Amino acid sequence: MINGYPTKQVVEQLRRQYPAGTRVELVRMEDVQAPPVGTLGTVKSVDDIGTVFVAWDTGSGLGVAYGEDEIRIAEQNYDVSFAVDGRLHVSVNARSFEEAKEKASEFVCEADFGELECIDWHAVNATDERGEMRDFV
């Protein structure tokens, strides 16, 4: 931080981490007008001093101040399909598709398929980190 503000590099990292459209969850905000902890919202932008502006599902537009408040990427439901001698569908909650793939893989690996092996996986009509429906392969 420089004079109480994040560096340009930190701001760029925040913009990569929270691009417009990212669904987030409020972890901590010290403001009398703050939405309740756990409130979900959609990132609108990140300004030059690292404030993440969020359209909260409560209707609030209060920004998340860098170094003061805390948010995290919201968990989403991913339906992951594995090709195991047909199809096996697994629904998991995760903060990213990679995490969903890992959780679903653990489930499939723990299941007893005898001699069968998981040869392929994909998710159909899954919601990505920006809230957009898409297929992952």
Domain boundaries, the chain: 8-73, 76-136
The CATH number corresponding to 8-73 among 1.25.40.80, 2.30.30.40, 2.130.10.10, 3.90.1300.10 equals: 2.30.30.40
User: How high is the pLDDT of residue 93?
Assistant: 72
Three state DSSP letters for the chain: CECCECCHHHHHHHHHHCCCCCEEEEEECCCCCCCCCCCEEEEEEECCCCCEEEEECCCCCCCECCCCCEEEECCEEEEEEEECCCEEEEEEEECCHHHHHHHHHHHHHHCCCCCCCCCEEEEEEEECCCCCEEEEC
User: How high is the pLDDT of residue 32?
Assistant: 92
User: How high is the pLDDT of residue 39?
Assistant: 95
Is the separation of the CB atoms in 19 and 43 below 8 Å?
yes
User: How high is the pLDDT of residue 116?
Assistant: 47
Mean pLDDT in runs of 10 for the chain (137 residues)?
81 92 92 94 94 95 94 77 58 72 71 52 53 53
